[in-house]
Amino acid sequence: MLNLSNLIVGMSGLAVVGMPAIAGPVQIQVTVENLAPTNSVAFAPLRVGFHGGTYDSFDNGAAAGEAIISIAEGGSGSAWFPAFEAADSTATLGTVAADAGGPLLAGGTGSAVFMIDPTINRYFSFGSMVVPSNDYFIGNDDADAYQLLDNDGNLLISSITQFGRDVWDAGSEVDGAFGAAFLAGSSNGDHIDENGVVGFDFAGLDVFNGLTTGAGYEFDRQFGADDAIYQISFEVVPAPSSALALGLGGLVAVRRRR
């Protein structure tokens, strides 16, 4: 007489072979690096969102809203995160900070790992204040500009490089030492309204040339439009292996936990 337990194990093995692979959440390591010249720009912690391709925090040529201003003027993202979550409640949001703490200085790196469900959060958005400045930043103004993953969790983009030409001016605060972040003797809490619009502008950083930064070096922009100043890299981090559930009941339970 055929042993029932052997029959179940044998059937479960056949079921595993015959069934397609089950896509699930993937761990993505995000690494940032400041590629700017020594004594040039630094960057606030990178604020990130993995999402469904719907949230757009700003538009080129339009007045900056509270969400992007919270990144451009102070680097915190204090309004960016709530606005993002309100627009896409299933988005995965977080921060990539410098390994050394504080602003990401030239040559510095930082990384963080995020668990992402590729079936709902295939797109990637980001924002970081460029300092010293009053309201300069990097970020994407198109919600679906960066499809990071396919439905199975495979990476479609290995890195995003930001060049001098990619630096934005939020147009919300007048440029100058008064109220600039990361500048010795200046208080980021000070502010003079500019009432402008968001637009590309890296040359405006020259207003800070020769001034001393919060890190103690004398600022010198140096880079041009085509020079790489920042890189975001992505890597799938293998999750710890787990034992395969034996038996048809175990297999069904695994499938239902999606």
Give the pLDDT confidence of 39-93 residue by residue, as tens digits.
Answer: 999 999 999 999 999 999 999 999 999 999 999 999 999 999 999 999 999 999 9
Q: What is the pLDDT of residues 186-213, one digit of tens each?
A: 999 999 999 999 999 999 999 999 999 9
pLDDT of amino acid 238 = 87
The CATH class for the domain spanning 25-238 reads mainly beta
CA 159 – CA 107 distance, rounded (Å): 17
In this structure, is the dihedral angle defined by the CA atoms of residues 73, 78, 83 and 85, taken in order, positive or negative?
Answer: positive
Single-letter amino acid, residue 218: E
Q: How confident is the model at residue 23 (pLDDT cuts 50, 70, 90)?
A: low
Q: What is the pLDDT of residues 113-130, one digit of tens each?
A: 999 999 999 999 999 999
Across 81-106, b (16+ Cβ under 10 Å) vs e yields bebbeebbeebbbbbbbbeeeebbbb
CA 21 – CA 31 distance, rounded (Å): 29
Report the pLDDT averaged over residues 229-254.
61
**Domain layout of the chain by residue ranges:** 25-238
Asked if 138 and 173 touch (Cβ cutoff 8 Å), the reply is no
| Pairing of the two strands 123-131 and 109-116 | unpaired
CA 233 – CA 123 distance, rounded (Å): 14
Q: Which of 45, 173, 153 is nearest to 101 (CA)?
A: 45
Q: What is the CA radius of gyration of the chain?
A: 23
3 state SS for the chain: CCCHHHHHHHHHHHHHHHCCCCCCCEEEEEEEEECCCCCCCEECCEEEEEECCCCCCCCCCCCCCHHHHHHHCCCCCCCHHHHHHHHCCCCEEEEECCCCCCCECCCCEEEEEEEECCCCCCEEEEEEEEECECCEEEECCCCCCCECECCCCCECCCEEEEEHHHCEECCCECCCCCCCECECCCCCCCCCECCCCCEECCHHHHHHCCCEECCCCECCCCCCCCCEEEEEEEEEECCCCCCCCCCHHHHHHHHHCC
Q: Is the pLDDT of residue 138 over 50?
A: yes
Asked if 213 and 219 touch (Cβ cutoff 8 Å), the reply is yes
- Spatial neighbors of 88 by CB under 8 A, at least 6 apart, are 49, 51, 52, 54, 55
